[in-house]
Structure 1
């Protein structure tokens, strides 16, 4: 399902969603949310937007099944977060995000952030220039012998994702089955490599000891790398055709994920699905990644 509002960003989101639906051989549902009492001409305007989007999607993907809808009576965020299409709950929700430039980040908008923090299904936020699916560079993902790197640690900026690859941020200390299921499936349908990245820092308890004994950092890095390898093993077995590049990197998660995903097709991050005292919301890593990554960002609820 893709939400439209007439902006170039939402048009890019609709194009991206059409590509995704074609990859998955799934129907596409395009929606334009209306207020409970639409202004004069609002309904007609919404229908025109939807007709244009349908024509573009079917021109790009002949034979694609496209349905439309204009939900009313609730806020735009609530209408989209419900993710209900003609065939039931949507498997994926796609929205546009408004750019403000590389230095300032970009304004995802209150609707996009609210939906990403509340939807029960994965939400993909697409910037205007990220409205198409890059083709995977399988050669770049492979090593000298044609097999992808199997794991290890790395310095920031090492092993960049190739065009068309999928990057996922993983916390080895949190349940992330839904997150990895989505990331591996996305890599599988694209026929590309999956880059799994865990960012870490030394616990404060190590304090002065880490400065005196550099081996402590090496030992922690080795332990975290082993945990990531163990976490990915059952998913590698389930998706043997997906090349996997697993890395652990010391540093702030959001900055390292954005850097690692430069040139990739998608960056996947998770958010806790459990309701918090003040309602659902995004974690600080997902929030920062959404604001600063130039590529489509998928936010996957997990741990419900």
Structure 2
């Protein structure tokens, strides 16, 4: 089955930003772009209302993907565009649509001058349940935001991409996650900045006075572990420059800080079969809400 870059839209500026990002990614990967619009059937009492009923809903459900596809075709003439309309609960439907996609792209509301993402229930549900990578794009993100500034200090789509940032847990390094990040950096012809946050083990952290020598030894060990994890990947992807950052403190804080100078942030989500439902993980959850760059969440075992 031919995979696509699939984007979920609802007509908002957030979904328009996501659609633009998805079109650029489709171009990078030489894949079709599938625009999916999910609508929820009108309850019976409302279906009889001429302003809120079925005919009005049908008008908008047809107009939104049609106009989005037309705009993408004008701005990205080399991208094949497919549209699809589905009904049901958006979070569940989009997670299902991701199964046949290379990745699923969704929009998230930006916090204006403060930056960051406000991830709604639909986005979180799709991230938590999708079996393929999900990318969340804030509004009003633009192509220029992903690139280095030009000589005048203004970001431009004509300048090189900013680095791709990978948040990596060295205790459980997953090949699917790491490969996704290297592939993203390679396609953008940019460097991969691998960020690892660490804290002392409990038996060091509690009841032990601050010891600079011990701290330095722990920092050296964590840096060596990170280097060892990445050693085979350096050989596999010799054209990708790797910047290793093993830093003391919260992994989420360090990844969010790195996002300010990133074209894309890549984090993982461990797939857990739990009676209490899907779980995103506290680091990924924090990065989703506070990253200033698009965030790719890669599910893995």
Aligned length: 277
Residues in 1 aligned to 2:292 and 2:198: alpha-carbon distance in whole angstroms: 23
How far has the Cα of 1:24 moved from its partner?
0.6
Residues in 1 aligned to 2:145 and 2:113: alpha-carbon distance in whole angstroms: 20
Superposed CA deviations along residues 221-252 of structure 1, whole A, max 9, x for unmatched, are: 11111111111122221111111101101111
* Partner SS, residue 274 of structure 2: coil
Question: Does structure 2 conserve the Cα–Cα contact (< 8 Å) formed by 1:16 and 1:133?
Answer: no
Superposed CA deviations along residues 60-84 of structure 1, whole A, max 9, x for unmatched, are: 2213111111112x31101000125
TM-score of the superposition, structure 1-length normalised?
0.85
Question: Does structure 2 conserve the Cα–Cα contact (< 8 Å) formed by 1:265 and 1:296?
Answer: yes
- Give 5+ residue unaligned stretches, structure 2: 1-5, 44-52, 151-159
Q: Using a 3 Å threshold, how does the CA distance of structure 1 residues 106 and 208 change in structure 2: closer, same or farther?
A: closer
2:85 aligned with 1:70: yes
Residues in 2 aligned to 1:288 and 1:48: alpha-carbon distance in whole angstroms: 35
* Residue of structure 2 in register with 1:107 after alignment: 118
* Partner SS, residue 171 of structure 2: coil
Residues in 2 aligned to 1:169 and 1:135: alpha-carbon distance in whole angstroms: 18
The counterpart of 2:138, out of the listed 127, 130, 151, is: 127
- Give 5+ residue unaligned stretches, structure 1: 140-161
How far has the Cα of 1:36 moved from its partner?
4.2
Question: Does structure 1 conserve the Cα–Cα contact (< 8 Å) formed by 2:265 and 2:294?
Answer: yes
Superposed CA deviations along residues 189-233 of structure 1, whole A, max 9, x for unmatched, are: 111110001000111111367535321111111111111111112
TM-score of the superposition, structure 2-length normalised?
0.86
Superposed CA deviations along residues 7-26 of structure 1, whole A, max 9, x for unmatched, are: 10000000000000001101
* Farther-moved stretch of structure 1 (234-243 vs 180-189): 234-243
